[in-house]
Structure 1
Amino acid sequence: MTAPALLGDRVTRDAYPMLDDLASDATGPDVWRTLGAAGRLARVYRDGDPRRGVDPAGLGALLTAVDRRCPLGTTLAVCVPLATCLPLLAGGDGPAARTLAAALRGDAVVALAATDDGAGCDLTSLTTEVTLRDDHVEVSGVKRWITNATACDAVLVLARHRPGPHFTNFTWVLVPADAPGVRAEPADTDLFDGAGAGHLFFDRVRLGREHVVGGVGRGLSGFAAHIAVERLAGALWAVGLCRRVLTETWRHLQDRRYGDGTLWHLEGIRQRYAAALLRARQHQALTESLADAVATRRDATAAAMLKASAAGTVERVLDECAHLQGAYGFRSDGPQRLRAQAALFGIGGGTTEVVLSVVAGATADVLADLDRSPAPEPPVEPGR
């Protein structure tokens, strides 16, 4: 019997053979350098240009390939820069343009520092500040739980340049990781090995005005546009992750002896597995139907739906697969540990509750989309 999951694995392996030479515990920078040197990072964008937006098929294939080969933290370290950092850098020149070119070659890793000390995902309450002068800027503040914090060459920092929550009060600044006043501290967790997760401290970091990216006051508008693509990336990654774990579980159930047969021959187990498989297939279908709206139009509602779907699907699939694998699921790289790591899908890039509020706010439009069904074919007259 041949499963679509197995075919997907074969295609991905053939497309990214350079990843097979990496160690099983390869870090985000290891993978980033390998993919960049092979020219594969640019391929996730239309015409190889981050300004043109992502190509969902290309991005999904790359994330699936990395997920198949590397720990979850490593895939996270690749996902965030591709979906958010590089497209943001494409809106700048000078240091931003040079860093973008180096990143696409695999020579530079860029971290995204948006979430703030004490403010979390409420970006309008962040306290990191950038003071704007005629010939320089100065950045001060603390960023928490930043992917690639301990392994990056540069950091895209979202900071406020004046008080208040108005969306024009925030600006992106590209900060070299080795600039005086920058300090990185590893996060207190071992769940995201390979991600370089940590906290960043900026103590009056002084830089030239050319380090402002995308223009003063365009920080939140730029972030809003690109967070939609990051949510799409998470949905694409969820498809590959669920396919991988479901395939592994299916093999386990067919191999595990029980009585005169295997666990796969128990109807109750088959039904539980099928329910998880169905959920993964539903998420895949939703992702395929909304991917273009997010990639081309930055549709915030579509992105929120994908984010909520990915979080719920990963949780359901990993819970079921962890249970179906029994004691085998507790191995060091098994689904019991993976489901703790994958809780990230319901938190990073906006919690499930936050994105569901976005969907609720667009109820009228979503209901209208549900009503846009094809017109029925006219009945055939007798004798025709």
Structure 2
Amino acid sequence: MATPFTGEGERRKGSVELRALAARRLRPVADRGAPGKVNRPLLATLGELGLLSRVVPLAGPVRAQDLCLLRESLAYACTEAETALALQGLGAHPVVAQGTRAQRARWLPEVAAGRAVAAFALSEPGAGSDAAALELRAEPTGVGGAVRAGGSLRVGSASSGWRLHGEKRWISNAPQADVYTVFARTGPGTRAAGVTAFLVPADRPGLGGEPLEMLGPHPVGTLTFDGVPVGPGDVVGEVGRGFRLAMATLDLFRPSVGAFAVGMARSALDASVAHAGERQAFGGPLKDLQAVSHLLAEMATRTEAAALLVQAAAAAYDAGEPGVAARSAMAKLFATETAQYVVDSAVQIHGARALAHGHLLEHLYREVRAPRIYEGASEVQRTIIAKELFRAAGAGASP
């Protein structure tokens, strides 16, 4: 089984090895998949190679630095494999972090092996970037319903659970996943209060969904809940504290979204450097044109800065340092915006050929747009950063 890499030298070596592995083993399997569909053979290969077990560990925490290394390296050679791995990790992480023994035993080995597909179901038609506005209802069932304890609702001895009513939208891997971490409102509170996480298998009665056709090739869809039954054994973590679990999960994965972006930026940059050295125009190679060489220099500088910011945020997360929310937001913000700039510039350097269907940059151009929106749009990341700055200032600490 693959092992994590530590130290800068080991990190670089690990990245080279993972890129080669992705090109050799994962790219061919990804190419055989259908756009908008879960590629189960690809997941099985990720499991066979031991890569999924690094984002869905059966014991111990997920290391943010290892997650970032995996996502950046796989994105360079095979964005489909990167996204398949990341979605498994995102969907299963609440169970890794706070799942019961039974939940962990039932699902983690299957997800880590690539035999079961996991999904993280937070967004709704009216609650995308504003996730705290979610409206999916968990209505108590049983004679006693739910009782209040410690400021939140929990199941009483006379309650048999809840029924879920509502809709989730823009859910990756929906409606093809085998199990969903679903966030629903169990209490009377508004915004972040009264939200509970549930682990919902796809075969529960009342659960439906439809795929959505999106710009990228990855599976995204809606989920509908028509009285879907869930019980105490389906609760992940504590009743009424699900929103905290969702945000903690995103704090881990946001820097790795930045790593995904860095991987795409590096791929686009390397392709542009090669093209500029080979393409003849105006009496010589493109690289001899100052406009092109300076653009390449800017692309490289921004990409390296983004990589360092991502690495710093991941290291801070692993070390349990304060200010992780702001650092994660900075990493995602800067890296995704940088990748958009680098890929767009790469298209400009390549010209019309980059827009042909099947070209690397045509593929990256479609892929690079979504990360600026999902797991908190760039504007949301700026809001998080500003709030953390003011919180630190109010506490008399350095930002």
**Cα offset, 1:247, TM superposition:** 0.6
The residue number in structure 1 matching 2:118 is 110
How far apart, in 2, do the equivalents of 1:241 and 1:369 lie? 33
Q: For each residue in 1:52-85, what CA deviation from the matched residue of structure 2 results, as whole angstroms up to 9, or x when unmatched? A: 13241x323322343244345x533431331x32
What pairs with 1:191-210 in structure 2 (closer than 5 Å)? 191-193=215-217, 195-210=218-233
The residue number in structure 2 matching 1:268 is 291
**Cα offset, 1:51, TM superposition:** 4.4
Q: Alignment partner of 2:240: what SS? A: coil
**Cα offset, 1:287, TM superposition:** 1.5
Q: Alignment partner of 2:352: what SS? A: helix
Q: Give the gaps of 5 or more residues in structure 1.
A: 1-5, 371-384
**Cα offset, 1:223, TM superposition:** 0.9
The residue number in structure 2 matching 1:230 is 253
What pairs with 1:31-180 in structure 2 (closer than 5 Å)? 31-44=42-55, 48-49=57-58, 51-56=60-65, 58-71=66-79, 75-82=82-89, 84-90=90-96, 91-93=98-100, 94-133=102-141, 134-165=159-190, 167-180=192-205
Q: For each residue in 1:89-120, what CA deviation from the matched residue of structure 2 results, as whole angstroms up to 9, or x when unmatched? A: 12112235411221112111111110112222
How far apart, in 1, do the equivalents of 2:290 and 2:117 lie? 49
Q: Alignment partner of 1:167: what SS? A: coil
The residue number in structure 2 matching 1:344 is 370
8 Å CA contact retained: 1:28, 1:78: no
How far apart, in 2, do the equivalents of 1:281 and 1:343 lie? 20
8 Å CA contact retained: 1:182, 1:202: yes
**Cα offset, 1:8, TM superposition:** 8.1
Q: For each residue in 1:222-241, what CA deviation from the matched residue of structure 2 results, as whole angstroms up to 9, or x when unmatched? A: 11111111101101111211
Partner residue of 1:353 out of 379, 383, 391:
379
The residue number in structure 2 matching 1:29 is 40
354-363 vs 288-297, greater mean Cα deviation: 288-297
Q: Alignment partner of 1:338: what SS? A: helix
Q: Alignment partner of 1:119: what SS? A: coil
59-68 vs 201-210, greater mean Cα deviation: 59-68
Structure 1 residues 225 and 126, CA gap change in structure 2 (3 angstroms): same
How far apart, in 2, do the equivalents of 1:300 and 1:267 lie? 40
8 Å CA contact retained: 1:305, 1:359: yes
How far apart, in 2, do the equivalents of 1:29 and 1:69 lie? 19
The residue number in structure 1 matching 2:332 is 307
Q: Provide the alpha-carbon RMSD of the alignment.
A: 2.6
Q: For each residue in 1:232-279, what CA deviation from the matched residue of structure 2 results, as whole angstroms up to 9, or x when unmatched? A: 110111121111111111111111112442111212110011111111
Structure 1 residues 168 and 368, CA gap change in structure 2 (3 angstroms): closer
**Cα offset, 1:296, TM superposition:** 4.2
280-289 vs 332-341, greater mean Cα deviation: 332-341
Letter in 2 for 1:218: R
How far apart, in 2, do the equivalents of 1:240 and 1:214 lie? 33
How far apart, in 2, do the equivalents of 1:38 and 1:294 lie? 26
Q: Alignment partner of 2:31: what SS? A: coil
What pairs with 1:309-348 in structure 2 (closer than 5 Å)? 309-334=334-359, 335-336=361-362, 338-348=364-374
Q: TM-score, normalised on structure 1?
A: 0.85
How far apart, in 1, do the equivalents of 2:26 and 2:203 lie? 29
Letter in 1 for 2:92: L
8 Å CA contact retained: 1:50, 1:87: no
Percent of aligned pairs sharing the same letter: 28
How far apart, in 2, do the equivalents of 1:9 and 1:359 lie? 29
How far apart, in 2, do the equivalents of 1:295 and 1:80 lie? 20
Q: Alignment partner of 1:325: what SS? A: helix
Q: TM-score, normalised on structure 2?
A: 0.82
8 Å CA contact retained: 1:113, 1:158: yes
8 Å CA contact retained: 2:92, 2:119: no
The residue number in structure 2 matching 1:373 is none
Q: Give the gaps of 5 or more residues in structure 2.
A: 1-11, 142-158
How far apart, in 2, do the equivalents of 1:70 and 1:10 lie? 13
How far apart, in 2, do the equivalents of 1:23 and 1:361 lie? 40
**Cα offset, 1:354, TM superposition:** 1.1
8 Å CA contact retained: 2:261, 2:368: no
Q: For each residue in 1:307-354, what CA deviation from the matched residue of structure 2 results, as whole angstroms up to 9, or x when unmatched? A: 111221112111111111101110224435533432212110111111
8 Å CA contact retained: 2:307, 2:335: no
8 Å CA contact retained: 1:96, 1:213: no
